């Protein structure tokens, strides 16, 4: 296994090469995929599951995403999405499945819940509603702006990296993000 890890660390794959090698069941490429995308996938799974799931469930979800990618790689179509976006979509659906499963298995006795402060519960409720509304607004953005927002604010990518990835100037990325934040702010004020 140490030999594979050293080999993985030394390699850089293009998207097409990585996909081709995973389709050929190349374990080095699989390890490279895990090393490259774990942080991104964990972050998205955490954002979807953190309120109701322990860390172990989030880690299991991430592992399941990579297993799904390995098994379903033949379904990946480069003409419809890039590999990174495809992994994020797999993550979203896997995390939502975990969340649904938790709701089915998580029957809580109301008497077991200790309410410390009504204001905290109310504040949490409105924060959750705001998050859902913000996600609806972001999903209404044009594809490039939506991806910029997700990658900057959900994935924590640097603006310089985004500018390079989208072949835009840093000022163009800043302007798109500023315009998006303004739309979100205005939409939340009117509701």
Mean pLDDT of the region 156-183: 85
Place of tokens 């990946």: 76
Counts for the chain of helices (H) and strands (E), in that order:
9, 0
Q: What is the pLDDT of residue 147?
A: 84
Q: Which of residues 18 and 9 earns the better pLDDT score?
A: 18
Q: Are 15 and 23 spatial neighbours (Cβ–Cβ below 8 Å)?
A: no
Mean pLDDT of the region 122-151: 73
Q: What is the pLDDT of residue 126?
A: 52
Q: What is the pLDDT of residue 107?
A: 44
Spatial neighbors of 14 by CB under 8 A, at least 6 apart, are none
**What is the Cα–Cα distance from 9 to 143, expressed in whole angstroms?**
32
Q: What is the pLDDT of residue 151?
A: 78
Q: What is the pLDDT of residue 41?
A: 92
At 130 the three-state DSSP class reads: helix
Q: What is the pLDDT of residue 190?
A: 54
Show the tokens assigned to 69: 């990618």
Nearest to 66 by CA among 21, 44, 34: 34
List of domains in the chain: 1-107 (1.10.1740.10), 118-191 (1.10.10.10)
Mean pLDDT of the region 62-89: 89
């Amino acid at each position: 296994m140490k030999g594979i890890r050293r080999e993985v660390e030394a390699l850089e794959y293009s998207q097409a090469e990585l996909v081709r090698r995973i389709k050929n069941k190349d374990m080095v490429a699989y390890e490279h995929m895990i090393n490259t995308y774990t942080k991104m996938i964990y972050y998205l799974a955490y954002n979807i599951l953190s309120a109701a799931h322990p860390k172990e469930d989030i880690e299991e979800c991430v592992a399941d995403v990579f297993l799904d990618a390995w098994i379903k790689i033949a379904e990946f179509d480069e003409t419809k999405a890039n590999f990174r976006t495809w992994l994020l979509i797999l993550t979203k659906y896997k995390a939502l499945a975990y969340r649904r499963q938790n709701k089915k298995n998580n029957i809580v006795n109301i008497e077991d819940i200790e309410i410390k402060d009504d204001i905290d519960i109310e504040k949490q409720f409105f924060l959750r509603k705001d998050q859902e509304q913000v996600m609806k607004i972001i999903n209404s953005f044009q594809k490039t702006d939506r991806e910029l927002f997700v990658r900057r604010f959900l994935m924590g990518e640097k603006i310089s990296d985004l500018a390079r990835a989208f072949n835009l100037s840093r000022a163009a990325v800043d302007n798109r993000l500023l315009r998006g934040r303004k739309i979100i702010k205005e939409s939340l004020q009117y509701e």
